[in-house]
Structure 1
Amino acid sequence: MNPFTSTPLYAITDSLLMPGEALFAGVTAALDGGCRLIQYRDKSGNHTQRLADAKKLLALCKAYKAQLIINDDVPLAKAIGAHGVHLGQDDVSPIIAREHLGANAIIGVTCHASLDLAQQAIKQGANYVAFGRFFPSNTKPDAPPAPLSLLTAARDVCEPTPIVAIGGITLENGAQVLAAGADTLAVSHSLFAATDIKRQAQVFIALQKNIETR
C-alpha cells in the first residue's frame, strides 16, 4: 500500500517551531493522532544535531509503522536508513537519489506549479510529486503561488503517481485541496503549532473520509 494514497496527512517538521525536545514531542503527538508520514525538515548547518535528530525520529516512526522522509539531504537519508527523501528543484535528480538510496526508497520531488516538472520527475522515477504553494505559507512565504486547478490538471498528467499539495494548508481549506485532486496534504505550521497536535492530526485525517462519504 502506498502511504501517499492511503493517508491524507504528511507532517513536515519545522526546526524553528519545534526546537530541541519539542520536535520529538510534536512528532509523537502527530503519530498518536494517526499520522503515518513524517518529513524531517531542518535547514540548519548543524550536521551532528541533524544526524542525531533524524536517527531518533526514524526509531520513533518505526515504532508506529510510519514512514520517515528526509528533506533535501540524500546523504543523511542514506546514513540513517530513512524510508526516503524529498528533493527540491536545486537538489540531485531522482535518478541519482535512487542510485544512493536503493529501489525501495520513497523519492518525492517539489514541482511548484509546473506539470512539466512533474512529468520529468515521474520519468526519472519519483514516487510522488508535490505542488504548491496554494495559500500563504508560514514555512515558505516567498514560494510562488499555484492555483487549485493545477491539482485537477495533474490528475490527468500524473496518475497513478500520488499528488501532494503543500503551502498554507489548514483544516479550513484542506478538504477543498483534496477535492481538487490532491492525494495528500503536506502540513507543517497548522499541525505543529496547534494546542492539541494529536487531535489536529485526527481532524486532518478525517477530511478525506468526509469527502469520500459525500
Structure 2
Amino acid sequence: MRGLYFVTPDRASGRIALVAAALRGGARIIQYRDKSGTGMAGLPEARELLALCRKAGALLLINDDIELCLAAGADGVHLGEDDAGIADARTRLGPNRVIGASCYNDLDRARRALAAGADYVAFGSVYPSPTKPAARRANPGLLRAARGELSAPICAIGGITPDNAAPIIAAGADMIAVIQAISEAPNPEAAARALQALFAQTAAHTTP
C-alpha cells in the first residue's frame, strides 16, 4: 500500500464527485468517512464509491463501521481507539480485508495494533489540522522511528498539503491521508495529482 489516501469529508454534498476527482488524480486509497451516524443508510453511497474505486484500481475502506464494510463489499476498515478492537475486526472481516489503525503519536499502540492483525498504521496529526485542531501531534522523528522498526505500511495524516507533504514522505510515510487538501481545493483533481506525484519525486530524490 503506497500513495495518496483520500478521506471523504463529512458533508455529503458532492462527495461522489470529489472521490471521482481524487481517483482521476491518482488516489490509491479512498476512505468513506461519514460521522453523521447514518450507519447502513450510507450503503448505497458506499457501493457507488466502491464501483468508482474498482474502475480506478483503488481500495475503498470504511471508517469505523465493520457492518457497512461487509454489506458494501468494501476492501476493509479503518479503526480509531474508540472503535472495534483490531482482533475482533480481523475475526469478523476474515484474512483478506484490509484493517488500518489510528495510532496518533503512539509507536507502542502501532506495535500492538499490528500484533492484533492490523495491516497498516496511521500516525498524526503531522501538521496542525483544520479538521481536528486539538489532535495529538506526530512529528517526522516518530515516522522515521516507525519506518526503522515496522515492516507494515505507514500512513501519515493531518494538515498535509502539496506544499508540505514531501518531508513526510521522505520521513517514511508510505501513504499520506488528506481531506481538505482535496475537498477544499479549487481543482480537486489537480490537487490529487500534485500530491500523488510527490511519491515518485521523493523516491527519485532519495535514491542513492
TM-score, structure 1 as length reference: 0.92
SS in 2 for 1:108: strand
Matched, 1:172 2:167: no
Deviation at 1:55, TM superposition (A): 1.5
In the TM superposition, 1:76-155 aligns within 5 A as 76-155=68-147
CA distance in 1, matches of 2:178, 2:37: 23
SS in 2 for 1:86: strand
Tell me the alpha carbon deviations over residues 14-59 of structure 1, each in whole angstroms, 9 at most, x when there is no partner.
Answer: 122xx33x11111101111111210001001223532221111111
Tell me the alpha carbon deviations over residues 131-182 of structure 1, each in whole angstroms, 9 at most, x when there is no partner.
Answer: 0001111222221112111000001221x20000011111111001011111
Q: Which amino acid aligns with 1:51?
A: L
TM-score, structure 2 as length reference: 0.95
Q: Please, what is the CA RMSD of the aligned residues?
A: 1.1
CA distance in 1, matches of 2:46, 2:130: 23
Which among 44, 64, 69 is matched to residue 72 of structure 1? 64
Contact 1:119-1:157 within 8 A present in 2 as well? no
Matched, 1:196 2:187: yes
SS in 1 for 2:176: strand
Q: Percent identity?
A: 46
CA distance in 2, matches of 1:138, 1:125: 31
Query: Who is 1:9 aligned against?
Result: 4
Which among 29, 34, 38 is matched to residue 42 of structure 1? 34
Q: Which amino acid aligns with 1:188?
A: I
Q: Which amino acid aligns with 2:201?
A: N
Contact 2:39-2:65 within 8 A present in 1 as well? no
Query: Who is 2:18 aligned against?
Result: 26
CA distance in 2, matches of 1:173, 1:207: 10
CA distance in 1, matches of 2:126, 2:48: 32
Contact 2:63-2:77 within 8 A present in 1 as well? yes
Tell me the alpha carbon deviations over residues 77-127 of structure 1, each in whole angstroms, 9 at most, x when there is no partner.
Answer: 111111000000111122111111111100000001011000000101110
